[in-house]
């Protein structure tokens, strides 16, 4: 029988208190959970001076996902904000907005249902997975359609010491085939597999900005752990996947029109609740290219 954890985890208290002591002068910052998520106020993302941007950048590093309300910005302003963090990604499998190859559009309705309701990091099948994504709400259901985020720093730090020792030097293989591959013909699949071969990433990566250790496997794209029998790999991965399920590691965002969420894809997993069909939900996502995990 697996070991169950009951009661508080000391890391959560220490991290909550550390975050509570942070000071910001240019922006309002309202924490959303113990270790992850903050709503940012007092800013217009369409018109940011350098000092305000620097504080947003700092809040992003500390809280791992930040949220903005009432941002009636243009598509170009959405792109410009994301570009301040790095080069933008073009997604090879998801539909883009007409005329904007760097914007993925998620348009859900009675015919197109939400299928992103599983914990995951984005595009870990890339050799350089994304730094993060800025998701903007254009049309949202009256009830439902929230997005949940889970802190993979807390997920790692709250593992037992012997589990950390077991996984610290392991490498996992990530592959798009098990998700996006199902929609491709055999010829298209072979072509894309040549373009995007399986990627090897550490099971526990070090965040390039904060230096913190992050659990870095996910149920959509992680195939197996190298050098381990498949049954043992599957068992260990399933245990690690479940770390995202712990409510104490999570925050939940309720969307409104013109809300934005900007999450650190290196340090969090996310889950889009699919509880709103046949209502309409239209979102636009801009993604920033990241580094090679180490």
Catalytic residues: 120, 122, 270, 285
Phi, psi of 255 (to 5 degrees): -80, 145
Close Cβ partners of 89 (under 8 Å, ≥ 6 residues apart): 102, 123, 130, 287, 288, 289
Residue 41 β-bridge partners: 28
Dist CA 258 CA 235 (whole Å): 41
Q: Give the position of tokens 């499998």.
A: 93
Dist CA 121 CA 118 (whole Å): 10
Dist CA 138 CA 170 (whole Å): 41
Query: Considering only CA atoms, which of 289, 293, 264 is closest in space to residue 88?
Result: 289
C-alpha torsion angle, residues 54, 57, 59, 60 (rounded to 10): 180
What's the sign of the alpha-carbon dihedral 292, 61, 78, 284?
positive
Q: How many residues in total does the chain contain?
A: 294
CA 248 to chain centre: 17
Residue 271 β-bridge partners: 148
Dist CA 206 CA 175 (whole Å): 21
Residue 81's CB: how many other CB atoms inside 10 A? 22
């Amino acid at each position: 029988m697996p070991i169950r954890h009951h009661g508080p985890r000391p890391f959560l208290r220490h991290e909550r208190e550390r975050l509570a002591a942070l000071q910001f002068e240019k922006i309002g910052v309202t924490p959303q959970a113990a270790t992850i998520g903050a709503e940012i106020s007092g800013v217009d993302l369409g018109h940011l001076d350098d000092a305000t941007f620097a504080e947003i950048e700092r809040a992003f590093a500390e809280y791992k996902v930040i949220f903005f309300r009432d941002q009636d910005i243009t598509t170009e302003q959405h792109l410009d904000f994301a570009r301040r963090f790095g080069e933008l990604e073009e997604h090879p499998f998801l539909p883009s907005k007409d005329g904007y190859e760097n914007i993925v559009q998620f348009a859900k309705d009675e015919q197109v249902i939400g299928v992103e309701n599983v914990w995951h990091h984005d595009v870990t099948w890339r050799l350089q997975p994304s730094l993060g994504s800025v998701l903007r709400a254009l049309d949202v259901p009256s009830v439902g359609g929230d997005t949940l985020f889970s802190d993979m720093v807390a997920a790692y730090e709250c593992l037992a010491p012997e589990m950390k020792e077991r996984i610290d030097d392991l490498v996992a293989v990530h592959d798009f085939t098990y998700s996006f591959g199902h929609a491709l013909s055999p010829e298209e699949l072979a072509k894309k597999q040549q373009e995007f071969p399986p990627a090897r990433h550490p099971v526990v990566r070090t965040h390039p900005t904060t230096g913190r250790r992050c659990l870095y496997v996910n149920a959509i794209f992680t195939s197996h752990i190298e050098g381990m029998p498949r049954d043992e790999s599957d068992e260990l991965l399933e245990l690690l996947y479940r770390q995202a399920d712990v409510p104490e590691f999570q925050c939940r965002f309720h969307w409104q029109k013109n809300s934005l969420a900007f999450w650190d894809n290196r340090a969090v997993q996310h889950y889009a609740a699919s509880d709103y069909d046949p209502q309409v939900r239209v979102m636009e996502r801009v993604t920033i290219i990241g580094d090679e995990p180490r």
